[in-house]
Amino acid sequence: MGDAKFVRTTISIIKADVGSLVGHHIVPEPLLEIGRQNLESAQQDGLINNFYVFNAGDDLELLMVHEKGEKNQEIHSLAWETFQSAAKKAKDLKLYGAGQDLIKNAFSGNVRGLGPGVAEMEIEERGSDPMIAFAADKTSAGAFNYPMYRIFADPMNTAGLVIDPAMFEGFKFEVLDTKENKKVVLKSPSEIHAIIGLLGSSSRYSISRIWRTKDNLLCAVTSTTKLSLIAGKYIGKDDPVAVVRAQHGLPAVGEVLVPFLHTYFV
């Protein structure tokens, strides 16, 4: 018999502001229902395994679990067509900001660069693999910088950085320069001062991915879309999303959540 083939699972969160009630407030039920109908149909067709449609303020959020990998054309096309349908409905209902985040019209296999925000991770699932999805509204792409630093680099928040052998070597942070479109990978704790120096400039630098140093296990991903850089002008906040894995050699769920007990201006 041949070697067993591990099935790799992909978690994708794709979001966009396609219209809301009473100014930039909340996604109305008709738009959420379009999202649920489209993703349920995709699940029945076998394209995705599971899904959850929700909103963060005026952003329509599509959370999908599938086996297609990151940046998959079918998955991104599903999200794009869903946003287009929801934007059309928003215009019919005369909602505020209908289609606001759909900056470009030419879909070429990937929604990156078209306006919607994307956070995706492809993983080999652990026996139990707790994950937490975060979605922010009315804030910049670097909004998750400080919480991610606290979760994966601050032993005063995450005790496992000191007492868990799986985390003792720390984590690697991929930091994106959103203006120059350049990336650098920095290790904590050995390069922690460089990490802090970049993350403090949250309007320019954003954490995009985090790995466990010991074995390169992918631990967290965030969206880094800067709408103003795509549109060439200010059209609204970036409203990022993120996915974080927890437990069993990673920060506990409580340690992932604690940094969000405090509020920040970002």
Please state, in angstroms and rounded to a whole number, the distance separating the CA atoms of residues 51 and 227: 26
Catalytic residue among 58, 149, 237, 238: 237
**235 Cβ contact partners less than 8 Å away, ≥ 6 residues apart:** 100, 103, 227, 228
Q: Is 234 a catalytic residue?
A: yes
Catalytic residue among 5, 94, 215, 234: 234
Judge residue 94's burial from the number of C-beta atoms within 10 Å of its C-beta, 0-12 exposed, 13-18 middle, 19 or more buried.
exposed
Q: Write the single-letter amino acid at 29.
A: E
Please state, in angstroms and rounded to a whole number, the distance separating the CA atoms of residues 40 and 50: 8
Q: Is 226 a catalytic residue?
A: no
Q: Is 146 a catalytic residue?
A: no
Catalytic residue among 15, 17, 172, 238: 17
- What DSSP letter does each residue of the chain carry, written as one string? -PPPPPPEEEEEEEEE---BBTTTTB--HHHHHHHHHHHHHHHHTTS-SEEEEEEETTEEEEEEEESS-TT-HHHHHHHHHHHHHHHHHHHHTT-BTTTTT-------S--TTSS-EEEEEEEEPPSS--EEEEE--SS-GGGGHHHHHHHHH-TTT-THHHH-TTTTT-EEEEEEETTTTEEEEEEETTTHHHHHHHHT-TTTEEEEEEEETTTTEEEEEE----HHHHHSS--S----EEEEE-SSSS--HHHHHGGGGS----
Active site residues: 17, 234, 237
